Chain A
Amino acid sequence: MKKSSKLAPISLVVCLVVMAIGFDKAMTAPTEATMGNLYRVFFYHFPHTILSFLFPYLNCGASLLYLVWRKSNPERAAKADAFAIASCEITVLYTTIGLATGMLWGRAAWGIWWTWDARLTTYLLLWLLYVSYLLLRRMSHSTSTALLAAVLGIFAAVDIPICFESIRWWRTQHPAPVFGGGSDAGIDPSMYSAVWWNLIAFALWGAFLLGCRYALERRRQALDEASAYDLLDAQEVR
């Protein structure tokens, strides 16, 4: 706990500095030809959506580790479970921001807030999946909650590739992949630095939030454990 509490202010400062640079780059990048200043929301939409495809896999990985260590190493399993909760909540947060910025952009660019095309639908699905994960954790209050949530985490992760590939499988209203797409995909090189700085900034910010949430969950676990032991002690005295 000590080491991490010393580390937290430093990483917060680093995060804020990189985010400030990212903000500066995003606001000073050249104006886009067809959409004008409006396109600047891209610098926030893109990092959040890309990262919201990454955090679910951290959740899945932590869920698998929980299942592996569940019997053999309860302490490590508890850590994996705390990490799974933290990464799921960051997934929901980033997906929400991805949806919100996407809708803002869609309203301005297409004239509608929402359309049921494959990319948007599957992205909403990603959000729904991880909200249902949080609901399961809330509604099942027993010792098996972590196990059930871990299994659901695996199921949810299986669905994500379907979503990620959706813009490659179906011709949609959402633009084709900007990076790693076809020959006419990609953006002007003058905008690269803004994209990469913001991607790094929000990756760091996500990692920072993840660390905080993880530490919080670990403390909650310790508290639960302590109160359980107190209860046992009280019974023994009686």
Chain B
Amino acid sequence: MSYLDHVLAHLRKDLRIEWRTKDSINGMLFFTLLVTVVFSLAFDPTAYPSIARQISGGLLWVGLLFAAMTALNQSWARELRNGSLEAQRLAPSPASALFIGKALANFLFVTAVELILAPVFTLFYNLHPLGDAWMLAIIMPLGTWALVCNGTFFAALGLRARNRELLLPLLLFPITMPCLLAAVQATTAVLTGDFPATLWLKVLIAYAIIFTTVCVLTFDLILQAD
């Protein structure tokens, strides 16, 4: 089997498990929906259209970050059942293939949530982007990938710790803040059209490349830690 086959095998396995239970997607969807409603209660966005435009980029990403957090621990906890993580460690496939497969699966889940949520979000907050809306097609996947890639990594890192549910946000938030900032700013730039999104997009691209590399290089250490 080539490296790509290993990655695809892991990805297929994760997708199949999710397809049968639909735990992560349902959880994330309902969670982000709740966040959207809670924020709209707090800020009443329809009454102030320009403020809604300015804050909704931030609200969207914060909602997605929190939602992803609920699914990330779950995605590794599955592997702990029946000792299948131990089997992964013994398997001849490279550790980074497992990581990329799982990160891709999580990426697809969060993207699915985004696709379902985007119309709801636009409707609730009365949004119509004033900037180049097509840029969202680059910003959203890129930001999601940067978020999910680090999230998958740190969920694995805290897997064996006491209270891992608490540890994940504590570790992930500081690391992921530059990416969150860039994603929020780029999205806001598109929604308001006040300033160009290119600088923040560059930060996002650099962040995604650097941290994906570090994750892939160090995942073997994390998996073999005992």
Contact = CB atoms under 8 A, between A and B. Distances in A.
Interface stretch (B75-83, B126-134, B173-181): B173-181
Interface residues of B, number: 25
A135 B157 contact: no
B61 to A, nearest CB: 16
A4 interface: no
Most B-side CB within 10 Å, residue of A122, A125, A131, A155:
A155
B164 to A, nearest CB: 9
Interface in A158-188: 158-159, 162
Interface string A116-136: 000001100100110110011
B20 interface: no
Given A125-B174, A156-B175, A162-B178, A139 B167 contact: yes
Contacts, number: 72
A93 interface: no
15 contacts: A67-B221, A128-B173, A129-B174, A129-B175, A132-B175, A139-B167, A139-B170, A140-B160, A143-B226, A147-B225, A148-B157, A148-B158, A151-B157, A155-B175, A155-B214
Interface of B: 157-158, 160-163, 166-167, 170-171, 173-175, 177-178, 181, 203, 210-211, 214, 218, 221-222, 225-226
Given A140-B160, A154-B214, 20 more contacts: A125-B178, A128-B174, A129-B174, A129-B175, A132-B170, A132-B171, A135-B167, A140-B158, A140-B162, A147-B221, A148-B161, A148-B222, A148-B225, A151-B221, A154-B218, A155-B214, A158-B210, A159-B175, A159-B178, A162-B203
Interface of A: 67, 121-122, 125, 128-129, 131-132, 135-136, 139-144, 147-148, 151-152, 154-156, 158-159, 162
